[in-house]
Amino acid sequence: MTDWKKIRKEFETSKVTMKDLAEKHDVKYSTLRSRKNREGWQQGVATNDATHDAPKEDGRGAPKGNQNAKGNTGGSAPKGNKNAVSHGLFANWLPEDSLEIIRELSQKSPADMIWENILIQYTAIIRAQKIMHVTDSYDDINNVTSIKTDPMLQDNTGNPVRVEEKREWHMAYQKQEAFMNAQSRAISTLSNLIKQYVAMADENDSRKLEIERMNAELKKAKAQADIIKSEADKLQATGKGFELLQSLVDVVNEDED
């Protein structure tokens, strides 16, 4: 039989996550979450049962005449105290999955959080190479933005005939330019994250070796982006879109050689 009293006590007197707690006591996560929400469990705020079950030790406590609790009526915290803000406020307004994330993040150091953001940003930059790749100078695309039909005219299937269609065109050089601008912003963000991490991380942190490698690649990418932007600005001013894309391709090929 599930000992819910024990589970609640463990939850409220530790920093265990709901997921770990469910696995430990072999109960369904959804059942545990429902029980928690229904009974108002809060981490860091022990239940009366948990308090009463705690062993009492003789000789403990403040001496007679102590003024520690002056102004604190009814055993509650003094007016203005914010002991429960970090748990109570979140528990009252945030969904359970958000609370789970907060509990896990509370166990991480600022350096760990910045490191994870570095990995996410670096992954996004690499992934964008495939998603935003421009094949060649003829890699144009167009999207239908609006369609107008005439209800008085019908095709063989009985549907209204399309009499007008508007499309939005994206030329290859425009796609490449948008890609380079997006990459430049992403690289700048990554560079700032790395600077924050280096300033915060411990000197013996093994991840600094990976940071040095990333820095070298970032400098290379930034230099390439500066060259491309310079060439793009020159050609765009003359309206030579095809030559603009060709120059971008040439710069990339030279860098790979």
Q: Using one digit for the tens of pLDDT, what is the confidence trace for 69-79?
A: 554 554 444 44
Q: Using one digit for the tens of pLDDT, what is the confidence trace for 97-127?
A: 888 888 788 778 888 888 889 899 989 988 9
What stretches in the chain show pLDDT beneath 50?
Answer: 48-60, 71, 74-85, 253, 256
The predicted pLDDT at position 254 comes to 52
CA angle 42–104–191, rounded 5-degree value: 140
The predicted pLDDT at position 232 comes to 62
The predicted pLDDT at position 57 comes to 45
The predicted pLDDT at position 120 comes to 92
Number of CB atoms found within 10 A of residue 190's CB: 22
Q: Could you tell me which of 210, 139, 224, 222 has the C-alpha nearest to residue 173?
A: 139
Nearby residues of 46 by Cβ (< 8 Å), 6 or more positions away: 9, 12, 13
The burial of 248, by beta-carbon neighbours within 10 Å (0-12 exposed, 13-18 middle, 19 or more buried), is given as buried
Q: What percent of the chain lies above the pLDDT cut of 70?
A: 69
